[in-house]
Amino acid sequence: MLSDMNIRLQTNVENSVLEFLAAESYGDGSGYGATIYVNSSGFSARVFCTFGPWPMSQFVAGLERLDAELKGEAILKPEYDHWHLKFSAISTGKIVVSGVLYQAEQELSFSFTTDQTCLKPLISDLRLWQSQTST
């Protein structure tokens, strides 16, 4: 396991939060783990999630396309689990962040809107997280 870091989406909205807490890269290159924390208008979840290199690469590439083109979506969904995070462009500069997080007998479906200016810092932090995987 390589060093933990915290990654926060800067939402420009006071009551909406998305964070990857104690984000770690597994030293064997098998993937990533983090506690995903979401707060959307008072509803919140804090769930430890893991996923492989391919979903992370696809998610970051999707975020980069969203940032450049302001259309489409970026999805982080692991290969063998049912939680997911989705960023979707809906209009000029508006991004909907939505998803589903769950743990034993509980599930949170959430959605909030932010703007595309929040994407670049998130992409940069996710790229740094990716680069922590040992070679």
Q: CA 109, CA 124: separation in Å to the nearest integer?
A: 26
Q: CA 76, CA 82: separation in Å to the nearest integer?
A: 11
Tell me the pLDDT tens digit for each residue of 3-54.
579 999 999 888 899 999 999 999 898 999 999 999 999 999 999 999 999 9
Domain holding 101, by residue range, is: 5-131
- Domain with residue 36: its CATH number is 2.30.31.10
CA-angle at 106, arms to 6 and 85, nearest 5°: 45
Tell me the pLDDT tens digit for each residue of 43-91.
999 999 999 999 999 999 999 999 999 999 999 999 888 899 999 999 8
Q: CA 15, CA 20: separation in Å to the nearest integer?
A: 17
Q: How many domains does the chain have?
A: 1
User: How much is the pLDDT for 133?
Assistant: 63
What per-residue string of b and e applies to 97-123 under the rule 16 or more CB within 10 Å gives b? Answer: bbbbbeeeeeebebebbbebebbeebb
